[in-house]
Chains A and B, each alone.
Chain A
Amino acid sequence: MLIFALCLSGKGLSVCSAQAVLDKQITIDLKKERLDLALEKVIRAAKIPLVYDPAKLKNHSINTAVSFKNESLQKVLATLLKDTPFTFTANGKQSVVIKEKNTPDRKQAPKSNTISQKMMDVSGVVSNSMGTVADVSVMVSGDSKVGTKTDPNGKYALRVPEDAILVFRSVGYLDFETPVNKNNVINVTMREEDKQIEEVVVTAFGRKQAKEAVVGSVASVSGKDLKVPSSNLTTALAGRIAGVVAFQRTGEPGSDNANFFIRGIGTFGQGNSPLILVDNVEMSSTDLARMQPDDIESFSILKDASATSLYGARGANGVIFVSTKIGKEGRARINVRSEFASSRPTQEIETVDPITHMRLYNEAQLTRDPLAAPKYSQNKIDNTIAGLNPYVYPVVDWKKMLIKDQTFTNRNNISMSGGGKVAQYYVAGTYNVDNGMLNVDKRNNFNNNIKLKTYQLRSNVTINVTSNTQAVVRLYGNFDEYNGPIDGGAAIYQKTLRTSPTAYPAYYLPDEANKNTQHILFGNFGRGGSYLNPYADMVRGYKEYSQSKMLAQLELNQKLPFITEGLSGRMILSTDRYSYFQATRAYNPFYYNVSLYDKATDVYTLEYLNRESNPTEFLDYNASVPNVSTHLYMLTGLDYSRSFGAHNLSGTVIQTIEQTQSPSSGTSLQQSLPRRNFGISGRASYAYDNRYFAEFSFGYNGSERFHRSRQFGFFPTFGASWVLSNEKFWPNLSIAESITKVKFRGSYGLVGNDAIGAPTDRFFYLSEVNMNNGGRGFGTGFSPGDYNRPGISISRYENFDITWEKSYQTNLALELGFFNHLNFIGELYRQKRTNILQSRANIPTTMGLAAAPLANLGEAISEGIDMSLDYSQNFGSDWWVQARANFTLSRGKYVKYEEPSYPENLNHLYLQGSYIGVQRGYIAERLFIDDEDVRNSPRQNFGIYGAGDIKYRDVNGDGQISSLDRVALGYPTTPQLIYGFGASAGFKGFDVSMFFQGLGKESFWINAAATSPFINYDDSGINGGRIGENAMLAAYADSYWSEDNRNIYAMWPRLSTELNTNNTQTSSWFMRDGSFVRLKSAELGYSLPKNLTERLKMTGLRFYLSGTNLLVFRNFKLWDPEMGGNGLGYPVQRVFNIGLNANF
């Protein structure tokens, strides 16, 4: 196995001695062939450059076919060169030089007698497969004084001793060495570090594994591939990685995390989110969202049991494993990225004009109650049309007034890395500014526009304490500073859609009586100024918050060769702290309305509305209880890896201990207690001849949440793979030319999920009792001081039996490679989830229980396919093309779910057998034609209804519509299908890329209550008790049932100024198809030619233009379908971005 041969690549731990190069184990079959060709194969197998003169070697050959299995390079070369005039020696730790036996050792040659040496001029061009390479250092081996670099055209010229060996070195390429041999012109083609062969995958607990040897299902992408112009990393996930289901429901800054699931949702229990680990430490999805792609070394998704079983009871929902970059030995490299982005909604909701709003409002009143007094008098409507005094007859476009068309973001990132032999560093800093989207009014005496500043600092330092001991110190801090309106921008945005455009203006100009008034005369309506005035809410004050997260982590890696070869130990200690506090400062606005208006003189008199609510001209303040939490993590482990001939054995044992404390967020004693987790996990793997791989692993976890008897769980897994293309016969097959890689793998195992139940259910085995429940008490008097006692209530009964969810996972995969350009991975999986926690369904209320008993009763099965396709090729020296596609199909089903046993005619009520996440609701047939139609139809039990309201189907035929008529509707609200495809291409300095992403098999519901025109809707409490008036969507105005136009298939039922609970039931009426395909991102870049950058003392400079969410193809047109039912929420954003990336 390659993983623990630490000298593999420059990324690894460079602790190898020169001899280590020759100890490299290789497996190779050689025919009778020319020596130079044979050595070529050895290079490929060993991945170590051999330096030799082909011209001399090609006259020799191997006389017998020979094969080596896990033999050291030393042995291989000795065998091959046995009967030749050549010998070999390790040259430093990077390469091996093959020379004639009589050649004097060059190490003694160079400096000892320079004078005697003949000097000569050498020049040439250095190129790679695509063209010339600039900035390649050209040196004489063993003499650091002589050297140069290639110019932007790849040319170099150097004066060297005749017998010198030239070393060509550049980042991203294998070193190339060649003897001068009196050639004046030496043209060199640099071999790129071959990703195809070198590719390493990061799996559980940060283990690096050669891709070929991976048995489990792991998908990984580099940080570069996650680079999108967004401050939120999670928005980049959709469609990029096979097996990840991701979608973004809101564009609200700060809470625009995409929802993401690995292989869909496999449980109908509470916890279905993947475990997120950054450098081995568990993080929240928000922490993940804040990560900078530039800092990410690798991003792996662990999908099947074999990949996740080491996480035991926490791995059932998949694992996201991110590792950050660490420093590399070498001179300091500086990477600077700066971006400036503008974002605006992908689509704005269209509402009707103010006059129509008033007319339809009146219609909504009168159609329900002919006696109603219209809110907007004809006089008001006429005068508003006529454009009389804009304060008396206001027309306010709240959204335009308060919200800018676009907002700007500035992101800056700088990283430095480098180091010497003893210590290497990677230090990165980030400074992002999200600017407000509010229109700042000059009436404001303090700036309350949004400004969110984010600072990040990350420092990863690697110290090679001894040749066997390495320490890594990671420090990370994220700091947010926010200043903005009290509600935040998103709430202001929503309020603009909840306020009447004509009832009152944002503010009044002073009338005669208020000539000297100092405060703003905010507009309002009705008693006490109890209506919503978003303008007043915006300018009345501001909020500041400060949020920080700091992490300190120490990793120790100790090789233990003195115990046994191949054994090493490691330890991680990590702690992080989170804190949040906020303060708001605001005044209580004064509200006015026009009491008198003299049309002739155009003079109005204002009425002061809210004396009773004590408005103030001065600020008051309110500070929230700070929220703090700490997290502690400790890992100790032993690793072993060793080869015995063709056999490779490796093993790992790891123990982890974890604790989270957040006493300030709990609301009860039980919630204030720390959360702890303890686990031991292990793995044993065996590989034979790079053809057969087998792996057994397990996790053994304990959680404090369960009763002692159920505290620990054991989760074993077995996996195996077979690389068909490494079989001996394969190269002889005719298809071997085109199919260069064939690998099968599979796994079966058990993993668990302990994130079950509500977060408030801390300890299932304890009852939760409130011994002083004021709401359940009894008093015998009314006045303070009278006899009163609280009561005692119980919110959970003790239950010793509750335990983990278990997931039995099977995974089968096929990997294919074609022509070294095209790679395909296809996987089939099936997960059976048992022990899903659910409420006992068969407990009647006559039991009188205060809390529903829970039990591990449910079972679910989820199945799916994920596939990925990768293609990359260069055409000539100037062109390159890359393309890839991903496809994920995932469906979860209820298999066992405790529910009442329904009679024959109610079979449609069973959840068992339906997809997880499918909504249940009524089948809407049409709208009622008239009251006669209502009378002749089955009675509907959801509140007042009549002509023009939605008519539902009586599914069970009992003559009325009730909850027994609900059926499964459509697809789940989480998409079952996610895909993405994209391509990038480059020509010389230019590059362009496009990425499309789509999802399908998803249904969503237009939120009928939230979009109900004219009603006072406030689900989230942002109105603060003030009365709103929902906007009328243009789409509804175009198609609704009215008495004059009894369109029984109109989009919106009969208007109402009150929430009509008959129409807002979940039903097929408002169900929509959520599928779409969008141009998720596009980018155009230009890298300056080397000669220019060199003049600027840079190693690279690239400018780019990029954008996200540029185009969308969909069925649903009202708003961006990715938002699902949340259409009036903060829109998903379209971003245009300009950036530059400089390297020094």
Chain B
Amino acid sequence: MSLVSLGGCKDYLNIVPDNVATIDFAFRLRDEAEKYLFTCYNNMPNYNNITGNVGLMGADELTTFYPRESGRGSLDLTMLRIARGEQNVANPLVNFWDGANSGKSYFMALRECNIFLDNIDKVYDITLAEKTRWIAEVKFLKAFYHYWLVKMYGPIPIIRQNLPISSSVEQVKVYRDPVDEVIDYAVSLIDEAVVDLPETVSGQAELGRATKPIALSIKAEMLVMSASPLFNGNADYLGFQGKDGRQLFSEYNAEKWQRAATACKEAIDMCERAKIVLHRFQPGQFSVTDSTKNMMNVRSAVTTKWNSEIIWGASNSWVGGGSYQSGPIQSMAMARLSPYTASDETQTIASLFAVPIHIAEMFYSKNGVPIEEDKTYNYSGRYTDIRPATQAERFYIRAGERTVQLNFDREPRFYGSLGFDKGIWYGMGRMDDKATNMWFVEAKTNQNAGVIGSDLYNVTGYWPKKLVHYNGSIASTAYQFTAEPYPWPIMRLADLYLLYAEALNEVNGPSADVYNYLDRIRERSGIAGVRESWTNYSNTPDKPSSKDGLREIIQRERMIELAFEGKRFWDLRRWKLASRSLNRPVQGWNYRGNDETSYYKLQTIYQSTFTQREYFWPLSEGSLNINTNLSQNPGW
């Protein structure tokens, strides 16, 4: 009956054993610290699915039916809601500021980078070389996350150091820093990092980790962005002040373009040293025609894993197939090519990515100029004239099958990037382009790729074939599709060339260098150089010789070359072209048509809207209430 002494009960309550994991354990051993390094990498956007990559459906390149019809399970269309003008301040979509609605919390990412940098010296069993490299990698990532936030929000608070958890309420109420300061800070981080980064990674185990070419390319991309109209002397934002009275945007500064051009060149030189070159399609055992090679070069540059052109592939974002509910890109992009016997909601061909007509029209004619400028192109009949494909056209369109003019006489990248009614779908186990059984799309209602039943279908009649690896395989029934996965290309050499060309043109206007880098890309896809093409075929032959004309050409080249790679969303914004391009009806063929006449009719899927304020994301109301030192982006 004796009462237990108080001292004894203190022990009684002390039930937590030693060695319960705390954050200190992350920096005791090299192998644990490596996990933390990877945690910093883990914050990279999920490029490979429709919920992580706003570039896919957030603009006007890819769409799908909306709202979901019942039966589409949990398909997350947050990104499409942005394209539909549903962005809002109450609960912003793709919120990378607070980490909500398909957005990651990038301030958390930055905190993790800082935790790593603050603690890595505690690890005792790591070599100095490795530690130096890791620090450089994390500095680069820290720059990247700042860059990403600027891209979305414009001015942001710079996170140089972590604030302690015990900080006072006043300390944590940070202000937004001017855009230029954030960019300069990110540049300085990259400059520090580049010194210690390797030129190339050593072996499979390091693929996707930061290198000199990666860091320099991202720096180049960032500086081109900061020189672009949205950030450089943008009259709409010139008066925009922080709560501390600082101007958050600065006046136009031509120097920025020079800085960008220099950075691009530096990156290109580094890529050359690292043996990064434009990729060419390797068909394997078969020899294929030039037509096919020209068509496949761009598709292969995107989908061949770790090919020679890839500067930065997203190791954590492999593009694959699989059950459609989670929206895997290859499954979304794939058309049903084989007869459709039975069906399943869990089928691996979702076939939901639909490319609007105006994107299909954006691609050049076979003469390498816009179809609306091409003197030889039957532009007026593009929606109406229907004819069978000739034998000569058989590498692109199934010989003898009839389709509409818009699908004829186009550049190889049109055929490499898009699937359409009667278009050839190269690969999928049929690699010999001379064979007569090449896969091709049949898109009308009740045909293989068209509406069957009421479930999964393409609402425009164009598929982003470019995103589907040619080595994927389909079974005799269309629901069985096995994708050949590839890491999402965050940056490839063609992108860098185009950035360089753009910056150079802005600095000095048309020059041999500008044409050179553009033509390298055009040549790879089998079309003639810019000046040659425009001179011979365009009704505005002088266009390439003026700075403005050439700018237009560079922009279009960029949108074609990088179509469906998640760039257009951001490019339209930094060029301040979004309010023009994203305010139009999004149209497609009448996918419910079951014959030529009913199918080849334009149908509006929705009216896309873009208002001035959408150039930048809104900060959530909640954030503004909590931190009254933050100013909302104009218009929101």
Contact = CB atoms under 8 A, between A and B. Distances in A.
Among A773, A798, A842, A853, max chain B CB count under 10 A is at: A842
Interface string B256-282: 000000000000000000000000000
B316 A844 contact: no
Given A791-B36, A941-B89, A944-B86, A848 B71 contact: no
A870 to B, nearest CB: 40
B430 interface: no
Given A676-B15, A769-B25, A792 B32 contact: yes
A845 B107 contact: yes
B346 interface: yes
Interface in A764-796: 766-767, 769-773, 776-782, 786-787, 789-794
A681 to B, nearest CB: 12
A1093 interface: no
Contacts of B20: 669-670, 766
A780 B209 contact: yes
A964 B620 CA distance: 11
A1016 B97 CA distance: 32
A963 B90 contact: yes
Given A612-B346, A779-B315, A1015 B70 contact: yes
Interface residues of B, number: 91
A849 B165 contact: yes
Given A771-B35, A791-B38, A780 B15 contact: no
Interface in B333-351: 342-347
Interface in B344-379: 344-347
Contact of A787 (B9, B15, B205): B205
B71 A1027 contact: yes
A1058 interface: yes
Contact of A789 (B14, B38, B305): B38
Nearest to B100: A845
B69 interface: yes
Interface in A912-945: 941-944
Contacts of A843: 172, 626
Nearest to A941: B88
Contacts of A704: 13-16
Interface string B288-317: 000000000000000001000000000110
Given A711-B10, A941-B89, A798 B22 contact: yes
Contacts of B105: 845, 848
A342 interface: no
A622 interface: no
Given A526-B455, A846-B107, A673 B622 contact: no
Contacts of A944: 67, 84, 86
A786 B208 CA distance: 13
A847 B479 contact: no
Contact of B70 (A657, A787, A848, A1027): A1027
Given A527-B453, A657-B9, A941-B90, A844 B626 contact: yes
B138 to A, nearest CB: 12
A613 B346 contact: yes
B159 interface: yes
B71 A845 contact: no
Among B89, B173, B347, B626, max chain A CB count under 10 A is at: B626
Interface in A537-558: 558
A272 to B, nearest CB: 24
Contacts of B39: 773, 776-778, 791-793
B148 to A, nearest CB: 14
A779 B630 CA distance: 36
A571 B70 contact: no
A137 interface: no
Contacts of B206: 780, 787
B509 interface: no
Interface string B37-60: 011011000000000000000000
Interface in B65-95: 67-71, 73, 81, 84, 86, 88-91
A703 interface: yes
A844 B173 contact: yes
A797 interface: yes
B108 A526 contact: no
A655 B36 contact: no
Interface in B199-245: 204-209
A794 B23 contact: yes
Contacts of B626: 841-844, 900
A962 B89 CA distance: 7
B423 interface: no
B617 to A, nearest CB: 13
B501 interface: no
A678 interface: yes
A680 interface: yes
A962 B108 contact: no
Contact of A847 (B42, B111, B621): B111
A769 B35 contact: no
Contact of B26 (A771, A781, A849): A771
A610 B344 contact: yes
Contacts of A678: 9, 12-13
B165 A636 contact: no
Contacts of B1: 558, 569, 571, 636, 638
A1121 interface: no
Interface in A650-692: 653, 655, 657, 669-670, 673-674, 676, 678, 680
B162 interface: yes
A1029 B69 CA distance: 12
Contacts of B455: 526-527
A776 B90 contact: no
A850 interface: yes
A595 B623 CA distance: 55
A1016 B71 contact: yes
A1001 B226 CA distance: 59
A708 B343 CA distance: 62
A561 interface: no
Given A780-B208, A944-B86, A902 B625 contact: yes
A608 B343 CA distance: 10
Interface string B480-504: 0000010100000000000000000
Interface string A39-77: 000000000000000000000000000000000000000
B454 interface: yes
Interface string B161-175: 011010101001110
Interface in B100-114: 105, 107-112
Contact of B36 (A779, A792, A909): A792
A780 B202 CA distance: 12
A793 B42 CA distance: 11
A636 B3 CA distance: 7
Contacts of A673: 15-17
Interface of B: 1-4, 9-10, 12-17, 20-23, 25-26, 32, 34-36, 38-39, 41-42, 67-71, 73, 81, 84, 86, 88-91, 97-99, 105, 107-112, 157, 159, 162-163, 165, 167, 169, 172-174, 204-209, 305, 315-316, 318, 320, 342-347, 453-455, 479, 485, 487, 592, 621-623, 625-628, 630
Given A767-B22, A846-B107, A849-B165, 10 more contacts: A657-B4, A770-B21, A780-B206, A780-B209, A842-B169, A845-B105, A848-B105, A850-B108, A900-B626, A964-B621
9 contacts: A527-B343, A680-B3, A777-B35, A777-B39, A780-B204, A780-B315, A782-B318, A791-B38, A900-B625
CB-CB nearest 7 A-B residue pairs: A848-B111, A962-B90, A528-B344, A791-B39, A941-B88, A778-B38, A848-B107
Interface of A: 368, 373, 375, 526-528, 530-531, 558, 569, 571, 608-613, 636, 638, 653, 655, 657, 669-670, 673-674, 676, 678, 680, 702-704, 708, 711, 763, 766-767, 769-773, 776-782, 786-787, 789-794, 797-798, 841-850, 853, 900-902, 906, 909, 941-944, 960-964, 1014-1016, 1025, 1027, 1029, 1057-1058
